[in-house]
Each structure stands twice: as structure tokens, then as C-alpha cells.
A = this chain, B = another copy of it.
Amino acid sequence: MSQTVPSQIIHLPKGFSFSAVTAGVKASGRPDLSLIEAAPGTTAAALFTKNRVVAAPVEVGREALAKSRGLIRAVVINSGNANCATGKPGIKACQRICREAAKLLGVRPEQIFPSSTGIIGVPLLADKIVAKLADLISARASTEQGVAQLARAIMTTDTRPKVASAQFRAGKSTISLTGVAKGSGMIHPQLATMLVYILTDVSATPVELKRLLRESCDVSFNCMSVDGDTSTNDTVLLMASGKSGASLKTPKIRDQFSAALQQVCQSLADQIVADGEGVQHIIHLHIEQAKTRDEALRVARAIAHSLLVKTAWAGADPNWGRILSAAGSCGLPLNANHIDIYIGRQRVCGNGMGFPFDEVQAHRDLSQAHCDIRVKLRRGNASVVFQTTDLTAEYVRINADYST
């Protein structure tokens, strides 16, 4: 395997083109309507939010994948309005956009995959979007600039665009992957206002794509939390054009692809957490010696979801008692006397008790942009690495008046 390191260099997968325009959904006048067009025969698979309140595009997109048997020809994304809690009119607006885009592209409506992100509960004015579809489609190009424009146009409270790319060779073929993502607040396991599109030119069936996507998501997007809220619109879409000539049928290529996909997902997850609303510090939470990975995840989420823990991190305060207490409230029959906690390289809690440590050093470790915190449960051999963030007054400020 060679060159699978994700980077800001965009390795354009063959068979895709991109564009973005301003349709006036965002009040700011910034680009808010974007397109990914895919070559005939492109296969696709997606994972969606587990929230019971789902946005219209999630319903319509799920149906599109089913009806088209995973043969998607274009993704139409608007930002500025989530088209959620908009009832039947929301579904109709979404379907109309898909229908009009399909007509202009000469494909079937179920081959259009819709996405929306933004405010919940405000009717989406389809007219504005439909009026710009012709411009959007005629602007499309298979260029790095097109990818960069797309990554910007899907942003809401994000402060920067998020792109990750990987490439590897298999025999005479070069396989490329490029992912773009948006997400900043409402970030929690099980996907949360997070839109991710990953494009590749490998050849694969929708079923293969779904399996690999789930594996990669489990260790990347599902192992992070900014604020614990689960969005109504989360979507991770993987599309494969097959234009590289290489196929996942070859086991070696499948392994290489799987590794590259995981790296792209991890890079995008890192970028999303780093852009978390008001985030000062990123915490890599290592939960070790759990009985099962699920158990480790449960402890990680309890810690990552505790306001008292997150605010202590905001102050770079090595208050390990709050970490211990949060772990204790996760619902598992943990034995506090078996728990060790490390901040950076220092053990700060041993057997559930304070352990002498250099507080100045711990404060310094927690003041860095990244800090490792390790919690050992002494119950088994399973572990998880979970990314989370501090909670700052800035987060509150950003979210205290979003809609008004």
C-alpha cells in the first residue's frame, strides 16, 4: 500500500463533478446550494441519524437509495434550512427539488439524493432552490476548486471547510477517495448535524459500500461528541463511480480501500471535533480494560456528556473526581476502587483514590490544544478512543441566539 495518508491535497476520484451557487436560503447571501454529480453506474450507500425526528431529506434520501437500488446520480444539498419538522409540505418541497434536478440532469428522480442542514422548523422555500438548479448544474466541474466550493457551501456554524483525501495504487489502477464534511455543534455519536459525502472511483456494490462505511463510521464519527445532541439530518454518504477500473471484489484492494476509507473518515471526524462550537481543547478519551467495546463506549459517552467534566476541561482543571463521578453514573456496575485515571502521562487517580501528581504539569497538559485522558476500568480487555471537547462560555454564546 502506498500514499494512503489523508491530506489537504485533494485526490479527485474520477467520475464526479461539483458546483455551488447562492440560492438565498442563507440570509448571509453566502453559497448555500451545491451539487455532486456522479457518472452513470455509480453506486452509493448511506448511514443516517438515529433520531426519531428526522428531516424530510433523510426520509426522501432513504427512499431514493431503496428505489434506485443504490444507483445515485447526483446529490443536491442546501444549507441554511434543515427542512425538518416541516411536515408533508417539507417532504413535497424536497421531492420537487429532486424531480426538477432529475429532469435537468436527464436521470430518474430517485437517483437524486437530497440533503439539508440549518435551522429546524422553518418551511423550506423550494422555489428559491428550483430557480437556481439550472445555474447549479451548468456550473459543475471535475476540479479541486469544485470540491473546495462544495465544502464551503455546506457549512452552517462551521468556521472552516472540511476535506480529506486519500489515494492508493493497486496494480495499474490508482484509486482515489475524497470526503467533504460539515458539522460543528450538535455533534454526538450516532451522527449529529453532520453531513459527510465520500466519493471514490473504486468499483463496488452498494452492499459492500454499506458494510465498509459502517465499519469506518463506528471508529470515527461514532466515537466523538461535542455537545451530546443528536441531529435530525445526519447523513454519511459514500459513492463509488467505478472509474478507476479497480474493484472491491479483489480482497487486497478491499483491504487497501477499507484502510483508506477509515483514514478519510477519521480525518473528517478530527476536523469536525476541532471545529466544535467554542472548543478550546480536544480531549482524546482512552477508555481501557472494559469488558466490551460497547461498555467502553458507554463510559466514554458518560464522561464526554458531563457538563461538570466539560467545564472543568474548559478551565484546564485536572478535576479527576468529576471524571470518576461521571463514569460512575453511566449505569454499568463499575467498581470505583478498580478505576485508574491518567491525565497526559500522569496517573492522577489510582484504585479510585487520588494519587499524588504534579498539578502544574496536569494543568499544562490540559491547556494544550489536545490532551489524552486515560481511564482504566480493570474489567477486561476492550477499549475505545473517543474524541470530545471542553464546553466553553463561547459555546453557550453561539447557541443562545441562533434562531432569533
Which residues does A use to contact B, with CB under 8 Å?
50-54, 82, 84-87, 89-90, 119-123, 185-186, 227-232, 305-308, 311-312, 314-315, 317-322, 324-330, 332-337, 339, 349, 351-354, 359, 363, 391-393, 395-404
Contacts and interface: CB of A to CB of B under 8 A. Distances in A.
Number of copies: 2
A402 B328 CA distance: 20
A185 B51 CA distance: 28
A318 B89 CA distance: 22
Contact of A403 (B232, B319, B352): B319
Contacts of A318: 403-404
Nearest to A315: B400
Contacts of A327: 53
Contacts of A359: 404
Nearest to A120: B321
Nearest 10 A/B pairs, CB to CB: A120-B321, A53-B328, A315-B400, A311-B399, A393-B393, A121-B321, A87-B353, A315-B401, A230-B329, A52-B328
A146 to B, nearest CB: 32
A53 to B, nearest CB: 3
Contacts of A122: 354
Contacts of A391: 307, 396
A87 B352 contact: yes
A51 B231 contact: no
A32 B231 CA distance: 45
Contacts of A84: 321, 325
Contacts of A333: 52
A325 B229 contact: yes
A399 B87 contact: no
A308 B227 contact: yes
B312 A52 contact: no
Given A52-B334, A86-B354, A349-B121, A328 B399 contact: no
10 contacts: A52-B330, A53-B325, A87-B337, A229-B326, A229-B329, A232-B328, A312-B399, A317-B403, A321-B403, A393-B400
B53 A399 contact: no
A77 B397 CA distance: 38
A231 B324 CA distance: 10
Contacts of A312: 399-400, 402-403
Given A232-B328, A393-B396, A396-B396, A321 B85 contact: yes
Given A52-B334, A53-B324, 6 more contacts: A53-B352, A84-B325, A120-B322, A121-B353, A122-B354, A393-B400
A318 to B, nearest CB: 8
A380 to B, nearest CB: 17
Contacts of A322: 120, 229
Nearest to A401: B315
Nearest to A398: B311
Nearest to A320: B121
A230 B302 CA distance: 11
A146 B266 CA distance: 60
Nearest to A390: B400
A315 B404 contact: yes
B85 A354 contact: yes
A324 B120 contact: yes
Contacts of A349: 85, 121
A315 B231 CA distance: 20
